[in-house]
Amino acid sequence: MKKKILVIEDEEIIAQMIKDNLEARGYSAMIANSGLEGLQKAETFSPHLILLDIMMPKMDGINVLKRLKANTITEKIPVIIISIADSYQEEGLRFGAAAFIKKPFDFDLLTEKITDFTNKKYVMVVDDNRETLSLIKMRLEMLEYKVVCAEDEESVFEKLDIRKPDIILMDIVLSRGDGLEITRKLKGMEKYSDIPIIAFSGYVSDELSGKEITGVDRYISGEFNIKNIIDEVKKHIEKS
């Protein structure tokens, strides 16, 4: 079955160009020339992904995005913002956009992004041990998940600004930072607070209290076990 893409774009020539290119690449595309029409079509046709322009009359793309994410029917549909203005990137990601692509864009890049968001779940793995990172990444990619790796707090937030993951797998003992502190920061930020976090470590006592792991959706204690970790990731992703 072809993946359905909704293009919300008020410039008819640009919208048709995007539609033609998407259909040439095997997608089923539909156009909405206003924010209101886009909201109606998103709810009626349940597209696999939405491409959303920002600068539109009457209802701009940010307000469309907010309403999409506030509607239980459309909240889980990935939204890629397409805009000529870089200034909307941070705001768009904060309100739930999956990615931002600046106009004019390369259709091969756009196709790659669409494939990522319609076919694969996205997992961030945070661990300062490169061998462990490599092992977890390899096992997750065998399950056809998209994986990004981070080794410390700085790289976590740097990569979160590029794309919001479906789940974070967090080592809580890092040589440069504290996984629990990163977790607390993430859960305190509106744009990241809904990301499930699975914490693990082979170096920490099993006697961690609930208070100490506040914000963690699941804590895997004891000796490092790759199978248990991957099983937990699968379990949480299948629930989403």
| pLDDT for position 146 | 83
Q: What is the second-level CATH architecture of the domain 4-119?
A: 3-Layer(aba) Sandwich (3.40)
- Does residue 212 have a pLDDT over 60? no
Same fold, 4-119 and 122-239: yes
- Over residues 158-168, mean pLDDT: 86
Q: What is the second-level CATH architecture of the domain 122-239?
A: 3-Layer(aba) Sandwich (3.40)
Boundaries of every domain in the chain: 4-119, 122-239
- Find out whether 58 and 93 touch, Cβ atoms under 8 Å: no
- Over residues 173-183, mean pLDDT: 84
Burial level of 85, CB count in 10 A (0-12/13-18/19+)?
Answer: exposed
- Over residues 191-210, mean pLDDT: 70
> Tens digit of pLDDT for each residue in 13-24?
999 999 999 999
Phi then psi for residue 167, to 5 deg, are -160, 150
Distances 167 to 111, 154, 194, 225 between C-alpha atoms, Å: 23, 18, 9, 19
Percentage of residues of the chain with pLDDT beyond 70:
90
Nearest-angstrom CA–CA distance, 195 and 153: 16
pTM: 0.57
- Does residue 175 have a pLDDT over 90? no
